[in-house]
């Protein structure tokens, strides 16, 4: 324990013989029957009760990313349950472990990019110029701007557009959403073609504009996709696909033996 941590402290919850206290609230007396799970999630993460805008938009974001078909996370979970039908928790974990820089975890990258860009704006940069500089530097380095491009949704990701629309209607669009919009134009200019703004960028932008720290942005898609994974796993128990998916993968891959010496 470091000198700064003279005592071990957790401010989230404590169970007592007669009650459970969560963030200073009595679970059964103050929370159960009064708050939604979205509001409870906010309270657990932040220690504060959600504003109306935070509750509304957090609910929207959770819905937007919870389910997206037979994506790698869902396939991994189904195949895990097929291999061990008693390991529901292991199958969920298998799906969540795939929350990386390509699937589910991209909002985390978007949040860091937006925060860095906003610091440049706060230092005197114009949002449009900052967006062009960010896109240009990533392009020059041979990288990809997180939150842009999608293998299915073209020319636009309907989830992303709906999030931006609802954020605008609620009046919560702030500097991070503005930067996301400028990045859309900058990416098109630098790449020489329109790339769809996918759902990851608005999730990050709206959360930051609502006052959430970037450290919790990744928590939203992880929680949301857990619900989707559980739906797939319930279906897997009723209508198994795991072994079928594994067999189709094996048939799709051509075996190439090593060359003879």
Q: Could you write out the DSSP letters of every residue in 136-202?
A: HHHHHTT---TTB--SSS-S--HHHHHHHHHHHHHT---HHHHHHHHHHHHHHHHHTS---B-THHH
- Mean local confidence (pLDDT), 66-88: 93
Contact 241, 78 (CB under 8 A): yes
3-state secondary structure of 256: coil
DSSP letter assigned to residue 254: P
150 has pLDDT over 90: no
The 10s digit of each residue's pLDDT in 192-248 is: 999 999 999 999 999 999 999 999 999 999 999 999 999 999 999 999 999 999 999
Q: How many whole angstroms separate alpha carbon 46 and alpha carbon 61? A: 17
99 has pLDDT over 90: no
Cα-based distances in Å from 113 to 133, 165, 173, 177, 184: 12, 22, 17, 12, 13
Q: How many whole angstroms separate alpha carbon 180 and alpha carbon 139? A: 17
- Categorize the per-residue pLDDT at 261 as very low, low, confident or very high, splitting at 50, 70 and 90: confident
Report the predicted TM-score, pTM, of the whole model to 2 decimal places.
0.91
Q: How many whole angstroms separate alpha carbon 82 and alpha carbon 247? A: 12
Q: How many whole angstroms separate alpha carbon 227 and alpha carbon 248? A: 26
What are the chain's domains?
Answer: 16-101+230-243 (no CATH), 106-216 (1.10.230.10)
The token pair that represents 56 in the structure block: 């509304």
The 10s digit of each residue's pLDDT in 133-144 is: 999 999 999 999
The 10s digit of each residue's pLDDT in 166-201 is: 999 999 999 999 999 999 999 999 999 999 999 999
Across the strands, what pairs with 148?
197
């Amino acid at each position: 324990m470091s000198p700064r941590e003279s005592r071990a402290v957790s401010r989230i919850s404590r169970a007592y013989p007669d009650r459970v206290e969560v963030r200073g609230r009595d679970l059964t007396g103050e929370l159960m029957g009064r708050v939604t799970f979205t509001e409870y999630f906010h309270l657990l993460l932040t220690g504060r009760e959600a504003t109306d805008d935070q509750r509304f938009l957090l609910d929207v974001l959770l819905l937007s990313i919870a389910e997206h078909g037979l994506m790698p996370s869902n396939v991994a979970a189904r195949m895990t349950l097929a291999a061990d039908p008693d390991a529901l928790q292991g199958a969920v974990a298998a799906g969540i472990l795939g929350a990386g820089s390509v699937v589910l975890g991209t909002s985390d990258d978007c949040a860091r990019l937006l925060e860095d860009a906003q610091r440049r704006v706060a230092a005197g940069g114009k949002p449009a110029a900052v967006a062009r500089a960010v896109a240009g530097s990533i392009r020059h380095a041979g990288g990809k701007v997180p939150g842009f491009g999608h293998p299915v949704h073209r020319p636009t990701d309907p989830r992303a557009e709906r999030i931006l629309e609802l954020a605008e209607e609620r009046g919560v669009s702030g500097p991070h959403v503005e930067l996301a919009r400028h990045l859309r134009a900058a990416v098109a200019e630098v790449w020489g073609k329109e790339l769809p703004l996918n759902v990851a960028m608005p999730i990050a932008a709206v959360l930051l504009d609502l006052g959430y720290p970037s450290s919790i942005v990744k928590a939203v898609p992880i929680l949301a996709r857990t619900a989707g994974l559980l739906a797939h796993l319930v279906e897997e128990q009723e209508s198994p696909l795991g072994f079928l998916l594994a067999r189709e993968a094996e048939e799709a891959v051509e075996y190439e033996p090593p060359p003879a010496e």
